């Protein structure tokens, strides 16, 4: 696990000091080592967290003749097979690092062939000196972040936005179209960010930069292809062996490793498979106060006792949670209004005291259909029998019912087609609410939120509703929320987090599961639960999903009430109508109306604006004359 950064310019050499500042800004991603290489207008910078080949894995790494150089963040789990094949083809290796296969494989296969062969999590930058080309490659699911920015000086890239800002070549300014979509999703969907001119390389893509021009190419995409000939016994056995194999691959490490453990089946299965190979440290989190109904500690503790792990618990108070929020938002870099993100911050902090690598259960819900909302398509089937005009009238009538009235939500959602109803696992503000919330000067687009998900629905017209919803989640919610917070919260503590459910081999299997084995018998992840029954106690296999349950509603009405009011009334937020914000604050104090997540979305944006946009640390922007060094013939 490391951090990468660099640039590509057309006809100029950026001063080494710029690259050094970028590397220094991401030192937490790699406190153990650093390196850089430059050739003409391309520079690569690297910070290393030593995991494999601790003594010999220095980067950047080159191929056979120094024509190709690469820096790699992440882990290539099938590197040993690739390495052996490359040796048979005549390649010579200087280390035992997984990262060294990257430049050699590029020499044989090119960037697209390389991208398709790698099994792992990665953000890679490749400099081809002969072509004068920079390639930026992001893994299949977007486990590792990779940002870039187009500037007058050239293209900048980094594992984190703070690496780009440290260059002093861009000014942090709010992208208003991203703000519009953030208010719906609670994060900025790919490829955008909340900063003007800063973008993510999307999952399954590589960016080519040559002669000052950049172009994106997709090398892989999420594609569900259910097989109706599966029997449940066949699926059970295949899922079990495939996951066991993936966990074995994800164990690759020369440093201590552990695992997160919640109350659910996903992390419990990962721990159980790991426990077959090693004595294991496990980590769980809960919250102090009268929140027993939302704590997972007791259930996780019972699982840890069953699996005989060295178990560690973190209990966080509202005060600790609130006190850490500013630095957590700085670590997130882009606003993510998921209340569980700070929980991951505290969990990673505790884990890093004991291990350098942790495995976790992210991705299981998206691949195996674990979210409760996936039931909805079955519950709303009666609406499919209505003519579109009648369905629309039902929706208009339902909207006139009092907010909070029983049945109103069912009628409102049922009146909408799936394409307009489901944009992922979070939907904060409606289109009308955003129009009322935003100042007119901050509304630069009124595109409905579903324009972001329309391409995924268009590509899945022939699939069942659950597979279509999974496709949307895998392309939006998974990289934009789940994986982004997992990476940023762990790397804030120099901790490598691995996700064995998000393995290309696991996905190839999960993609073939028919709907009847995804949501069945009143439960989600049905096939996965059935497959893992021999591994875990019955109560774990059957326990409904909780995620990281945070008592945010209670806190905003009690311990965090004054903080929320003060922040919303004093923050420099010219993008919003103050009167609307005041209405949300007032409504959230009424127990019949739950606006906690809407309010939290505003709180996180306000803190982000203070920490990123208004921060003195990123206010300096260099003049062109300050960033180029003289190059004499």
Sketch the domain layout of the chain as residue ranges: 2-220, 232-370+474-542, 373-472, 552-613
Q: Is the pLDDT of residue 228 over 60?
A: yes
Q: What average pLDDT does the segment 12-32 reach?
A: 88
Q: Which residue has the higher pLDDT, 620 or 20?
A: 20
How do strand 120-128 and strand 257-260 relate by DSSP bridges? unpaired
- Using CA atoms, how far residue 272 sits from 207, 276, 295, 354, 363, in Å, is 39, 7, 22, 19, 17
pLDDT of residue 453: 96
pLDDT of residue 631: 36
pLDDT of residue 211: 87
Q: Please give the structure tokens belonging to residue 603.
A: 């709180």
Among 332-336, 382-386, 415-419, 605-609, the minimum mean pLDDT is found in 382-386
- Using CA atoms, how far residue 310 sits from 57, 251, 306, 360, in Å, is 30, 17, 11, 16
pLDDT of residue 617: 60
CA–CA distance, 80 with 249 (Å, rounded to integer): 11
CA–CA distance, 185 with 200 (Å, rounded to integer): 17
Radius of gyration of the chain (CA): 24
pLDDT of residue 622: 52
pTM of this structure: 0.94
pLDDT of residue 550: 83
pLDDT of residue 74: 93
Residues 498, 503, 509, 514: is their CA dihedral positive or negative?
positive
- Using CA atoms, how far residue 36 sits from 3, 5, 246, 447, in Å, is 12, 9, 33, 43
pLDDT of residue 44: 96
Q: Is the pLDDT of residue 40 over 60?
A: yes
The pLDDT confidence band at residue 629, using thresholds 50, 70 and 90, is very low
Contacts 24+ apart (CB under 8 A), 298-307: 299/263, 299/540, 299/543, 300/261, 300/262, 300/263, 303/261, 303/263, 303/268, 303/271, 303/536, 303/537, 303/540, 304/261, 304/271, 306/536, 306/537, 307/268, 307/271, 307/272, 307/275, 307/280, 307/282
pLDDT of residue 546: 63
358 in helix, strand or coil? Answer: strand
Burial of 88 (0-12, 13-18, 19+ CB in 10 A): exposed
Regarding the domain delimited by 232-370+474-542, which CATH topology (the fold level of the hierarchy) does it fall under? Rossmann fold (3.40.50)
Which range has highest mean pLDDT (50-54, 115-119, 412-416)?
115-119
**At a CB cut-off of 8 Å and minimum separation 6, what does 596 contact?**
552, 553, 556, 557, 588
Q: What average pLDDT does the segment 95-115 reach?
A: 94
CA–CA distance, 474 with 482 (Å, rounded to integer): 10
Beta-bridged to residue 359, according to DSSP, are 259, 498
The pLDDT confidence band at residue 630, using thresholds 50, 70 and 90, is very low
pLDDT of residue 407: 80
Q: By C-alpha distance, which of 533, 603, 541 is closest to 567?
A: 603
214 in helix, strand or coil? Answer: strand
- Determine contact, residues 497/483, Cβ cutoff 8 Å: no
- Determine contact, residues 1/59, Cβ cutoff 8 Å: no
Q: Is the pLDDT of residue 155 over 60?
A: yes
Burial of 493 (0-12, 13-18, 19+ CB in 10 A): middle
86 in helix, strand or coil? Answer: helix
Among 31-35, 465-469, 565-569, 606-610, the minimum mean pLDDT is found in 31-35
The pLDDT confidence band at residue 619, using thresholds 50, 70 and 90, is very low
How do strand 2-8 and strand 120-128 relate by DSSP bridges? unpaired
Cβ atoms < 10 Å from Cβ of 139:
29
pLDDT of residue 614: 86
Residues 567, 572, 578, 584: is their CA dihedral positive or negative?
negative
- The CATH architecture of the domain made up of 2-220 is 4-Layer Sandwich (3.60)
The pLDDT confidence band at residue 616, using thresholds 50, 70 and 90, is low
CA–CA distance, 601 with 599 (Å, rounded to integer): 5
CA–CA distance, 271 with 259 (Å, rounded to integer): 6
The DSSP code for 630 is P
Q: Is the pLDDT of residue 321 over 90?
A: yes
Beta-bridged to residue 127, according to DSSP, are 69, 134
CA–CA distance, 557 with 81 (Å, rounded to integer): 55
CA–CA distance, 438 with 446 (Å, rounded to integer): 11
The pLDDT confidence band at residue 399, using thresholds 50, 70 and 90, is confident
142 in helix, strand or coil? Answer: coil
Strands across the sheet containing 133-138? 61-62, 68-76, 120-128, 133-138, 205-210, 213-218
Among 305-309, 397-401, 489-493, 552-556, the minimum mean pLDDT is found in 397-401
Q: Please give the structure tokens belonging to residue 218.
A: 């997709």
pLDDT of residue 54: 62
Q: Please give the structure tokens belonging to residue 390.
A: 């009648």
Q: Which residue has the higher pLDDT, 51 or 266?
A: 266
Average pLDDT over all residues of the chain: 90
Q: Is the pLDDT of residue 386 over 70?
A: yes
Catalytic residue annotation: 2
**At a CB cut-off of 8 Å and minimum separation 6, what does 295 contact?**
286, 287, 549
Q: Is the pLDDT of residue 133 over 80?
A: yes
pLDDT of residue 491: 95
Cβ atoms < 10 Å from Cβ of 443:
16
Q: Which residue has the higher pLDDT, 517 or 552?
A: 517
The pLDDT confidence band at residue 139, using thresholds 50, 70 and 90, is very high
Q: Please give the structure tokens belonging to residue 292.
A: 């027993």
């Amino acid at each position: 696990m490391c951090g990468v950064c660099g640039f590509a310019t057309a006809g100029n050499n950026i001063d080494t000091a710029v690259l050094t500042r970028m590397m220094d800004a991401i030192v937490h991603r790699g406190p153990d080592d650093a390196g850089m290489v430059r050739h003409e207008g391309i520079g690569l910078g690297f910070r290393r967290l030593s995991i494999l080949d601790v003594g010999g894995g220095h980067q950047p790494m080159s191929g056979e003749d120094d024509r190709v150089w690469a820096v790699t963040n992440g882990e290539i789990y099938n590197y040993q097979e690739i390495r052996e094949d490359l040796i048979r083809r005549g390649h010579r290796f200087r280390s035992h690092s997984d990262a060294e296969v990257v430049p050699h494989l590029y020499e044989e296969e090119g960037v697209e062939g390389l991208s398709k062969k790698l099994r792992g999590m990665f953000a890679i930058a490749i400099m081809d000196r002969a072509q004068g080309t920079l390639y930026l490659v992001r893994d299949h699911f977007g486990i590792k972040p990779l940002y870039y920015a187009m500037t007058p000086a050239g293209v900048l890239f980094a594992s984190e936005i703070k690496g780009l800002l440290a260059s002093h070549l861009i000014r942090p300014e709010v992208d208003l179209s991203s703000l519009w979509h953030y208010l719906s999703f609670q994060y900025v969907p790919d490829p955008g960010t909340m900063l003007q001119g800063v973008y993510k390389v999307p999952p399954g893509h590589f960016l080519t930069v040559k002669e000052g021009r950049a172009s994106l190419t997709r090398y892989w995409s999420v594609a569900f292809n259910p097989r109706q000939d599966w029997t449940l016994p066949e699926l059970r056995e295949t899922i079990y062996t495939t996951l066991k194999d993936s966990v074995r691959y994800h164990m690759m490490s020369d440093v201590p490793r552990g695992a997160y453990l919640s109350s659910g089946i996903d992390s419990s299965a990962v721990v159980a498979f790991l426990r077959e190979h090693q004595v294991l440290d496990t980590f769980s989190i809960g919250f102090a106060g009268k929140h027993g109904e939302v704590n997972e500690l007791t259930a996780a503790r019972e699982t840890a006792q069953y699996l005989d792990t060295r178990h560690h618990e973190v209990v966080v108070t509202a005060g600790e949670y609130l006190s850490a929020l500013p630095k957590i938002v700085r670590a997130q870099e882009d606003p993510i209004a998921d209340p569980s993100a700070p929980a991951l911050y505290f969990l990673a902090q505790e884990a890093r005291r004991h291990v350098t690598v942790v495995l976790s259960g992210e991705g299981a819900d998206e691949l195996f259909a674990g979210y409760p909302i996936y039931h909805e398509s079955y519950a709303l089937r009666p609406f499919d029998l209505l003519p579109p005009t009648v369905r629309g009238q039902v929706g208009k009538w339902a909207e006139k019912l009092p907010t909070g009235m029983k049945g109103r939500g069912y009628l409102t959602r049922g009146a909408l087609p799936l394409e307009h109803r489901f944009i992922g696992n979070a939907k904060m503000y409606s289109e009308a609410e955003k129009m009322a919330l935003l100042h007119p000067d901050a509304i630069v687009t009124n595109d409905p939120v579903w324009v972001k998900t329309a391409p995924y629905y268009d590509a899945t017209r022939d699939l069942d509703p659950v597979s279509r919803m999974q496709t949307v989640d895998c392309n939006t919610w998974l990289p934009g929320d789940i994986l982004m917070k997992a990476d940023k919260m762990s790397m804030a503590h120099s901790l490598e987090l691995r996700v064995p459910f998000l393995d290309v081999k696991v996905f190839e299997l999960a993609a073939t599961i028919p709907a009847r084995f995804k949501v069945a018998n009143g439960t989600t992840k049905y096939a996965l639960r059935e497959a893992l029954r021999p591994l875990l106690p019955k109560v774990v296999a059957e326990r409904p999903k909780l995620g990281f349950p945070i008592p945010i509603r209670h806190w905003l009405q009690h311990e965090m009430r004054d903080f929320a009011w003060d922040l919303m009334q004093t923050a420099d937020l010219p993008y919003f109508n103050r009167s609307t914000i005041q209405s949300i604050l007032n409504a959230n104090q009424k127990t019949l109306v739950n606006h906690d997540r809407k309010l939290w979305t505003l709180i996180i944006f306000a803190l982000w604006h203070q920490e990123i946009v208004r921060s003195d640390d990123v206010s300096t922007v260099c003049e062109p004359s300050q960033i180029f060094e003289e190059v004499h013939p």
